[in-house]
Homo-oligomer: A and B are copies of this chain.
């Protein structure tokens, strides 16, 4: 590293410090353009829904439903909404790191337009996720199904971006050891979590539950990552990011929302590093070559390996390869060969006999890894 680059880095860090963990006031697109490119790991966006409400809606008891009729949710036409969507998605894409991902939440009023535009701009959809509401608002007129969900789209920056963060093992563990599905069940934001002003009115009409953001950030970010929310509103994204040990950047136009979010986030107590750590699986473990087991004396050259049912056996050679008759190769290649398959995980396929029982050689790899961890500690 040269001194010049070091200065560059320092200036970048310094520039970062100005906007990390802050709320930028102003228009979403203009603010996005002020941020450095490729600087954000995860974007969560809850854009205006373009609700096309005609007149007021009344409950059966004639009470008026407090509809989302704020000025920021009014668009003249689909064309105008599409142009707005395209503009902010483009600006968001510029600030996203190459391996960053974006989440957008919406309802049937806008989500189809957002999804199509995401695809048009080159984003690559990874999943659509359904937030099933335990307590949705009823359909008061009885003319449709009760609208009981919202839709989230999760997308990477490009089709070719394979290095995005997905904490698969953590998600699976949190779901009783079953893969996390695309249908999530959460209550809507009510009670003590719902921000109210001094009159007892809700601060923001569409405040999202923290549990939803927590799952999103636990699934697709790492501690220390930068999380951007271009429609910050009451700051749920910032509050959850801070609590989970992620940095946040919020963009918001309305001062009343900024005030509420600022106070809210200030009151958040971050969890400790141990609590926010992401559970990693085998993928996160350091690589160990089979040969190093032989070198370490955990398996002697000449030892015999077999599969779990003792259908095939192979001999360990001093160079860390296996041999069956005249054939030789890696533990993986020979495992594939004897089974007639394209591929094979030799670590779990091959076993060694210890005290009369067959044990996968993966258990020996564990020994090596524990030794490595012990040295590092």
Q: Please report A residues at the B interface, Cβ cutoff 8 Å.
A: 58, 62, 78, 107-109, 111-116, 118-120, 125-130, 132, 136, 138-139, 142-149, 151, 153-154, 166, 168-169, 171-172, 175-176, 178-185, 219, 281, 283, 339, 341-344, 374-377
Chain B residues with CB under 8 Å of A108's CB are: 115, 125, 127-128, 153
User: In the complex, how many angstroms separate the beta carbon of A97 from the nearest chain B beta carbon?
Assistant: 18
Copies of this chain, whole number = 2
Task: Verify B178–A374 contact, CB threshold 8 A.
Answer: yes
| 19 A-B contacts (beta carbon < 8 Å) | A62-B339, A62-B341, A78-B119, A109-B125, A112-B112, A112-B118, A112-B119, A115-B116, A116-B116, A127-B147, A142-B169, A145-B171, A145-B179, A146-B180, A146-B181, A146-B182, A178-B374, A184-B376, A185-B376
If over half of A's interface residues share one DSSP class (helix, strand or loop), that class is named, otherwise mixed; here it is mixed
How far does the alpha carbon of A109 sit from the alpha carbon of B118 in the complex, in Å? 12
User: What is the bound-complex CA distance between A339 and B61, given in angstroms?
Assistant: 11
Chain B: minimal CB distance from A83 (Å): 14
Q: Is the CB of B130 within 8 A of A130?
A: yes
Contact yes or no, B62 A376, CB < 8 A: no
B183 touches A149 (CB 8 A): yes
A172: nearest residue on chain B (CB-CB)? B142
Are A120 and B178 in touch, CB under 8 angstroms?
no
In the bound assembly, the distance between CA atoms of A114 and B181 in angstroms comes to 24
Nearest B residue to A146 via CB reads B179
Given contacts A62-B341, A113-B119, A151-B128, contact A168 B182 (CB under 8 A): no
Selected from B107, B119, B172, B183, the residue in CB contact (under 8 A) with A148 is: B183
Are A148 and B181 in touch, CB under 8 angstroms? yes
A50 to B318, CA, bound (A): 38
CA distance A180 to B283 in the complex (A): 40
Q: Are B130 and A144 in contact (CB-based, < 8 A)? A: no
Tell me whether A147 and B182 are in contact (CB under 8 A). yes
- Let me know if A168 and B181 touch, CB within 8 A: no
Given A78-B120, A112-B111, A116-B112, also A130-B145 (CB < 8 A): no
Which single member of B181, B342, B375 contacts A183 (CB below 8 Å)? Answer: B375
Residues of B within 8 A of A281 (CB): 142
Residue among A126, A168, A172, A183 with most chain B CB within 10 A: A183
The answer to whether A143 touches B166, judged by C-beta atoms less than 8 angstroms apart, is: yes
Question: Which residue on chain B has the smallest CB distance to residue A63?
Answer: B341
When chains A and B are docked, how far (Å) is the Cα of A168 from the Cα of B113?
29
CB-based contact A182/B127 at 8 Å: no
Closest 7 CB pairs of A and B: A112-B115, A148-B181, A185-B376, A108-B128, A146-B179, A142-B168, A116-B116
Within 8 Å by CB of A145, from B112, B127, B148, B176, lies: B127
User: Is the CB–CB distance between A144 and B116 below 8 Å?
Assistant: no
The CA-CA distance from A175 to B373 in the complex, in Å, is: 12
Instruction: Please name all residues of chain B whose beta carbon is closer than 8 Å to the beta carbon of A112 when the two chains form the complex.
Output: 111-116, 118-119, 153
Residues of B contacting A377 in the complex (Cβ-Cβ under 8 angstroms): 175, 185
Question: Are A182 and B148 closer than 8 Å at their CB atoms?
Answer: yes
What CA separation (Å) do A62 and B349 show in the bound complex?
13
The answer to whether B179 and A138 touch across the interface, beta carbons within 8 angstroms, is yes
B-chain residues with CB within 8 Å of residue A130 when the two chains form the complex: 130, 132, 149, 183
When distances are taken between beta carbons in the complex, the residues of chain B under 8 Å from A118 are 112
Complex-state Cα separation, A339 to B142, whole angstroms: 24
CA distance A115 to B82 in the complex (A): 13
- List the B side residues contacting A175 at CB < 8 Å: 377
Q: Which residues of B contact A142 (CB under 8 A)?
A: 168-169, 172, 179, 281, 283
